[in-house]
Amino acid sequence: MKGTVHKAIEKLVIQTFGAEKWQQCLVGAGFDEDHVFMMNDDVDEATTMKLVTQVIPSVCNITVQQTLDAFGQFWINDWASKMYAPYFEGCKSTKDLILKLDFIHKSLTENIPNARPPRLRYEWVDTNRLAVTYVSERGLIDLFISIAKGAGTYYKEELKITKKSDQVLEINFA
Ligand code: HEM
């Protein structure tokens, strides 16, 4: 998984729980305590998963769901909207951002070897209800939902998100 994701995790944990807890997380995930992630790093997938699903919840005393939700909020509101601001231009709502997401992920990672961003298929169920099929060998639909909630916060919108299966979710934008 790309370094930018880990850089955001690093900032989030330090900001919320402090530098000492982050050092414990690094050591728990197999890094030196003074390791610093770089945006263009290519981090081993198993390490990313261990960090998010085991080490951070245990060191910071939060659940995996709380970890994903905190990341989803941080990723959109404190990270992507600043680091990747051009992608937000022209997106006036969560709907706009979600519909642009497949393009964003593809174009952002096309020149990065080993990047395998999720691919999305969209289908309108009715005027305000979008079915999103999430295709990724990583199986992180719960993370997808947490990031979508972060986007809802960014656009100050009440979204209703329903997980239909491990590949399909429905977002009600009404
Ligand atoms: C401008 C906004 C965004 C940027 C710049 C961005 C960028 C990225 C990048 C660089 C990765 C790592 C890809 C890799 O290492 O192969 C990633 C992964 C991911 N992104 Fe985004 N993203 C954005 C918004 C979103 C939103 C709004 C969602 C969900 C609603 C989302 C869902 C995910 C998920 C679930 C992954 C994990 C990888 C996987 O499932 O295979 N992203 N994103």
How many angstroms separate the CA atoms of 73 and 146, rounded?
Answer: 7
Best residue among 100, 105, 166, 168 to mutate for probing ligand 1, ranked by most atoms within 8 Å of CB: 105
Task: Provide the residue-wise pLDDT of the chain in tens; the chain has 174 residues.
Answer: 889 999 999 999 999 999 999 999 999 999 999 999 999 888 999 999 999 999 999 999 999 999 999 999 999 999 999 999 999 999 999 999 999 999 999 888 887 777 788 999 999 999 999 999 999 999 999 999 999 999 999 999 999 999 999 999 999 997
Angle CA(137)–CA(167)–CA(29) in degrees, nearest 5? 45
Best residue among 53, 88, 100, 101 to mutate for probing ligand 1, ranked by most atoms within 8 Å of CB: 101
* Residue 157, number of CB atoms within 10 A of its CB: 13
Provide the β-strand partners of residue 124: 130
Separation in Å, CA 67 to CA 35, 90, 139: 21, 30, 16
Report the nearest-CA residue for atom 3 of ligand 1.
80
How many angstroms separate the CA atoms of 142 and 72, rounded?
Answer: 10
Question: pTM for the complete prediction?
Answer: 0.94
Contact 125, 138 (CB under 8 A): no
How many angstroms separate the CA atoms of 71 and 90, rounded?
Answer: 24
